[in-house]
Structure 1
Amino acid sequence: MKKGRVRKASTERLGVVGILILNAAPDRARVAELLAEYDGIIVGQAELPCSERNMTLICVSIKVTTNVLGAFTGKLGLVDGVKVKSMLL
């Protein structure tokens, strides 16, 4: 990081969360519950079904602190049949 560009942990940043759900995932409804629980950080989202691979990709744009992002993605990662990747700008 360049000198003079210190970022506080409580600063909200823009980012993206990619959620890959196997269509056979037993807890698929849990993902919807978590998205509703964290709707305050969600700027927009798009769901892309990939029927040839039997999975669904949900792309979520977020405005969030690093602590809240960790809590959100951590809970998503615990759901069976779900993989999560995130990136903050």
Structure 2
Amino acid sequence: MSDKRLGVIGIVVENRDAVPQVNQVLSNHASMIIGRMGLPYRQKDLAVIALIVDGNTDELGALTGKLGNISGVTVKSALTKGS
């Protein structure tokens, strides 16, 4: 197991039909999510989610990869170098 990393993951959901899939992925990875803030941006018909996470690179890669494979979802992350 690699070192744990603290990070921020930004998620933009442009396809509102993808929200249940996004929530399912986040629920499946809840153990490494420290905090979550979700905001609907009604004027542009999208949603923005910010996650604070703590996990190893394999776990974080699995989370971002699964989210990034959902149509209409964009994911970006910034992680510490390790602890």
Secondary structure of the corresponding residue to residue 27 of structure 1: helix
Maintained 8 Å contact 1:25/1:80: no
- In the other structure, the counterpart of 1:12 is 4
Q: 1:26-74 CA distances to partner (integer Å, 9 max, x unpaired)?
A: 3320100011000000000000111111110000000011111111100
- In the other structure, the counterpart of 1:43 is 34
TM-align CA RMSD: 1.2
Which residues in structure 2 correspond to 1:1-89 (within 5 Å)?
Answer: 10-22=2-14, 24-89=15-80
- In the other structure, the counterpart of 1:5 is none
Residue identity matched to 1:50? Y
State the 4+ residue runs in structure 1 displaced beyond 6 angstroms. Answer: none
Secondary structure of the corresponding residue to residue 31 of structure 2: coil
Unaligned runs of 5+ in 2: none
TM-score, normalised by the number of residues in structure 1: 0.84
Say which one has the larger Rg: 1
After TM superposition, the structure 1 stretch with the greater mean CA deviation from structure 2, 35-44 or 47-56, is: 47-56
Specify which structure has the higher proportion of strand: 2
CA distance in 1, matches of 2:19, 2:39: 15
- In the other structure, the counterpart of 1:6 is none
CA distance in 2, matches of 1:14, 1:86: 11
Specify which structure has the higher proportion of helix: 2
